[in-house]
Every structure is written in structure tokens, then in C-alpha cells.
Amino acid sequence: MNGKNITGARVAKLRKELGMTQSDLMKALAKQEVHIRRTDITKLEIGTRCVRDYEVLAVSKILKTTPQYLLTGRGK
């Protein structure tokens, strides 16, 4: 991770725990009016793409966690 994104590893971990693919996450985000490409999810997960605040909210809802957990690793 290069410091641009501190949530990526947690997003990847939770997504995999739920048995979701990156495409599944992309489609679930689109249902919440958050439109990002699957390649952007890859970049987010490896830490090279910044994550926007509204994306953190949507991802946390989809992955059944809290924004706090995604940002800090606490409060799952």
C-alpha cells in the first residue's frame, strides 16, 4: 500500500469473507448509485486509488460493517 488508501485491505478481506467477487461488489455499489469500475475496485483494494467518503459509506453497508472499521480497523 502506498498511503493513498487505508481501507483497501479491509475491503478485500470482508468482500472475500462474504464470498463476493469484485464484480459483485461493483454491481452492489451501482444499486446504491455509486458507480465505479471493477478495475477501480482492484486499485482501491491494493491501495492505489483513493476512496471517497460516500464510497466508504456504501461499501460498509454492502460488506455488513461500519465505516469506522474500514477506516481504523476497529468497531467491526
Q: What is the CATH number of the domain that holds 45?
A: 1.10.260.40
Count other Cβ atoms within 10 Å, centred on residue 54.
Answer: 11
Does a structural domain hold residue 75?
Answer: no
pLDDT at 50 over 80: yes
pLDDT at 29 over 70: yes
Q: Output the CA–CA distances (angstroms, integers) from residue 58 to 2, 53, in the order listed.
A: 23, 9
Does a structural domain hold residue 63?
Answer: yes
Does a structural domain hold residue 12?
Answer: yes
Distance CA 63, CA 48 (A): 20
Q: Output the CA–CA distances (angstroms, integers) from residue 54 to 17, 35, 57, in the order listed.
A: 22, 11, 5
Count up the domains in the chain and report the number.
Answer: 1
pLDDT at 3 over 70: no
Task: Give the domain extent around 38.
Answer: 8-69
Query: Is residue 6 packed enough to be buried (19+ CB in 10 Å), middle (13-18) or exposed (0-12)?
Result: middle
